[in-house]
C-alpha cells in the first residue's frame, strides 16, 4: 500500500516496486488508505505523514487499534529534515521511515526489510496458533481435550448464569470398553474411540462442544439447552452408536454407550459435573446402553 497525497511520489514508488514484482495498492489520503487496508490487508504500508483528512499519525493509530491490521509494518514517508516526526512515528509503532527524496535502492531495501519482518511475524503467529490447537486437542480422536473443555465449561456457564439461559452438560462412557482392549488389543480400542468420536460429532448441533474427558469418557457442553434438549441429543448419540457395528479387521463390534445428562445452570460448573457423573453411574448400574437425566436447580 502506498498512501501519499502526491501523485508524483505515488507514481515513482509504484514504478520502482512493480519493477521488482510487488503488487501495489494506491491511496491519496488517509481515509482511503484505511478503507483499502480493511478490505484487502497489504503486507507493507508506505505512509506519508502529511495528508488531507487523516494524517499519517492518525492512520497509524487506527491501524494499531485494529487487531486485523495492527501487525502490518508501516514505513513512514516524510519530506521533513528534522528527526522529531521520525521519532514520533517510531514511538507510535511504525516499523521504519524513508526520507524524501530517496533512491530506488533505499526504497526497495526498506520495503524488503519490512516484508521480511511481516513474514517472520506471520510464521510465528501461525506456529503459536498451531501449538494452541495442539494443546487443546485430544491427539487420538481429534476432539477437544479436558483442558479446553474445562475452560469452555467455565465461560459458557458464566454466560448462562448472567443471561438466565438454560445450560446442560452430558457425560458419555463407552460400555465395557476394557473388554474391547483385553479381547482385541489397544489398536482396536483406539479405533473404537475414534469411530465413536466421529459419530458423536455427527449427532451434535451447531453450538454444542464435545471433547474427550478422559479414557473412554466424553463430555458434551450444550449452551442454551434445557432438559428436553439435552436428553434428545443424548438419545440420538446413544442410538447412533448402537445402530451400526464398528468394523475392526474381521471383527464387527457392537458398541453401546451410557450417559448422564444434567440441566441447570445449578450453583457451579462443578455442581453440573458431579451431577452428570452420578447420572452416568446410575446408567451403568441400570444395565448400560442407557441415558439418565436430571435437572439441577440453583441453590440445590
Catalytic residues: 216
- Bridge-based pairing state of the strands 217-223 and 246-248: unpaired
3-state secondary structure at position 233: helix
Alpha-carbon distance 75 to 89, whole Å?
A: 9
Could you tell me the three cell numbers for 189?
Answer: 480400542
Could you tell me the three cell numbers for 163?
Answer: 443471561
Cis peptide before 11 (omega within 30 of 0): no
- Sign of the torsion formed by the C-alpha atoms of 202, 204, 210 and 213: negative
Given a contact cutoff of 8 angstroms between Cβ atoms, the answer to whether 279 and 292 are in contact is yes
3-state secondary structure at position 58: helix
Alpha-carbon distance 292 to 242, whole Å?
A: 17
Beta strands in 116-255 (DSSP E): 167-174, 209-214, 217-223, 246-248, 251-253
Q: How far is CA 137 from CA 25, 133, 188, 200, in A?
A: 40, 6, 21, 16
Alpha-carbon distance 153 to 266, whole Å?
A: 13
Given a contact cutoff of 8 angstroms between Cβ atoms, the answer to whether 144 and 210 are in contact is yes
Alpha-carbon distance 184 to 49, whole Å?
A: 71
Q: How far is CA 70 from CA 95, 116, 118, in A?
A: 11, 16, 11
- Bridge-based pairing state of the strands 167-174 and 257-263: antiparallel
**DSSP structure string for 28-62:** SSHHHHHHHHHHS--S-EEEESS-SSS-HHHHHHH
Amino acid at each position: 500500500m502506498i498512501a501519499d497525497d502526491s501523485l508524483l511520489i505515488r507514481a515513482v514508488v509504484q514504478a520502482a516496486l512493480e519493477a521488482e514484482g510487488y503488487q501495489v495498492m494506491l491511496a491519496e489520503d488517509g481515509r482511503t488508505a484505511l478503507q483499502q487496508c480493511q478490505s484487502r490487508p497489504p503486507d507493507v504500508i508506505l505512509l506519508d505523514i502529511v495528508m488531507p483528512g487523516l494524517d499519517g499519525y492518525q492512520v497509524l493509530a487506527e491501524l494499531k487499534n485494529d487487531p486485523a491490521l495492527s501487525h502490518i509494518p508501516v514505513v513512514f514517508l516524510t519530506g521533513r529534515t528534522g528527526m522529531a516526526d521520525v521519532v514520533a512515528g517510531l514511538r507510535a509503532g511504525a516499523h521504519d521511515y524513508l526520507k524524501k527524496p530517496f533512491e530506488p535502492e533505499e526504497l526497495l531495501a526498506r520495503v524488503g526489510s519490512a516484508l521480511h519482518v511481516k513474514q517472520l511475524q506471520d510464521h510465528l503467529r501461525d506456529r503459536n496458533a498451531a501449538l494452541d490447537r495442539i494443546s487443546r486437542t485430544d491427539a487420538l480422536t481429534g476432539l477437544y481435550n479436558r483442558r479446553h473443555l474445562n475452560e469452555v465449561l467455565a465461560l459458557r456457564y458464566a454466560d448462562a448464569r448472567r443471561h438466565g439461559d438454560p445450560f446442560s452438560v452430558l457425560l458419555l462412557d463407552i460400555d465395557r470398553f476394557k473388554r474391547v482392549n483385553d479381547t482385541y488389543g489397544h489398536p482396536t480400542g483406539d479405533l473404537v474411540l475414534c469411530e465413536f468420536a466421529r459419530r458423536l460429532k455427527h449427532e451434535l448441533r451447531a453450538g454444542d462442544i464435545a471433547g474427550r474427558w478422559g479414557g473412554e469418557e466424553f463430555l458434551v457442553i450444550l449452551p442454551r439447552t434445557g432438559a428436553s434438549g439435552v436428553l434428545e441429543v443424548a438419545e440420538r448419540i446413544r442410538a447412533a452408536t448402537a445402530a451400526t457395528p464398528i468394523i475392526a479387521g474381521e471383527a464387527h463390534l457392537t458398541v453401546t454407550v451410557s450417559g448422564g445428562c444434567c440441566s441447570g445452570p445449578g450453583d457451579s460448573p462443578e455442581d453440573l459435573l458431579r451431577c452428570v457423573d452420578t447420572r452416568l453411574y446410575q446408567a451403568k448400574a441400570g444395565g448400560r446402553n442407557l441415558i439418565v437425566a436430571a435437572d439441577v436447580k440453583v441453590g440445590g
